[in-house]
Amino acid sequence: MGEAVIFFGPPGAGKGTQASRLASERGYRKLSTGDILRDHVARGSELGRQVKPILESGGLVPDQLVLALIREELSGGKAPKVIFDGFPRTLAQAQALDQLLSEKQVALKGVLLLVVPQRELLNRLVKRAQLEGRTDDNESVIQRRLEVYEKDTAPLADYYRGAGKLMQIDGTGTQDQVFARIQGALNGGVR
């Protein structure tokens, strides 16, 4: 039986950083749809050309495209041990993922919701824009990404809470502090 952990929360909450660390310390494979999509854009693949304007506007890539990527990544025989970062982002994606996990006999260990106040998110994203130069990290696009999160993605917290999978993590403080909270939550299991 495989197992999966989902990192959930707004842009700038620290999902990517914490997911990478958990993946390397606990032997998970990290699947970040944002990284995969950016890689397609960088390589100029057909998918990359299709999604480039969407990423640059801060909107969401259509569910069918994202789900095709995830299916491809999870194809192959072995039951995976996987961390999802930035996926799912819509109810349709979450329902499709449930289906896929049950087909592949992968248990969902938990959905880690990283909670960070809006003002701090903005600060972090502006700082990241300066450091990394991501084309979707300018101020109007940052605003749009936060709005899209609130409208399309935040409601998924209720979906996973209802399923008894949601683990709410305080995402403020140092990276080490946040990581320690994540480990505590995972060791305690789903409440």
- 8 Å CB contact between 2 and 80: yes
Give catalytic status of residue 49 as yes or no. Answer: no
**110 membership: H or E segment, kind and range:** strand 106-115
Q: How far is the CB of 178 from ligand AMP (least distance, A)?
A: 17
| Residue 109, CA distances (Å) to 37, 47, 145, 165 in order | 25, 31, 27, 7
Binding to ligand AMP (CB under 6 A): which residues in 149-178?
none
- Binding flag, residue 14, ligand AMP (CB under 6 A): no
End-to-end CA separation in angstroms for the chain: 21
| Span from 59-67, 95-103, 105-113, 174-182 in contact with ligand AMP (CB under 6 A) | 59-67
Q: How far is the CB of 40 from ligand AMP (least distance, A)?
A: 10
- Closer residue to ligand AMP in complex, CB, 144/161: 144
Using the structure block, give the residue that is written with the tokens 């990284």. Answer: 35
Q: Which of 6, 22, 31, 37 binds ligand AMP (CB under 6 A)?
A: 37
Active-site residue identified among 21, 89, 109, 165: 89
Binding to ligand AMP (CB under 6 A): which residues in 93-132?
93
SS3 120: helix
113's tokens: 């919701």
- Binding flag, residue 61, ligand AMP (CB under 6 A): yes
Binding-residue total with ligand AMP (CB under 6 A): 18
| Residue 38, CA distances (Å) to 95, 99, 136, 157 in order | 24, 26, 10, 25
Q: How far is the CB of 133 from ligand AMP (least distance, A)?
A: 14
Q: How far is the CB of 90 from ligand AMP (least distance, A)?
A: 7
- Binding flag, residue 54, ligand AMP (CB under 6 A): yes
- 8 Å CB contact between 135 and 56: yes
Strands in 2-8's sheet, in edge-to-edge order, are: 29-32, 81-85, 2-8, 106-115, 166-170
Active-site residue list: 15, 89, 128, 134, 145
Residues forming the site for ligand AMP (CB under 6 A): 11, 33-34, 37, 54-55, 58-61, 66, 86-89, 93, 136, 145
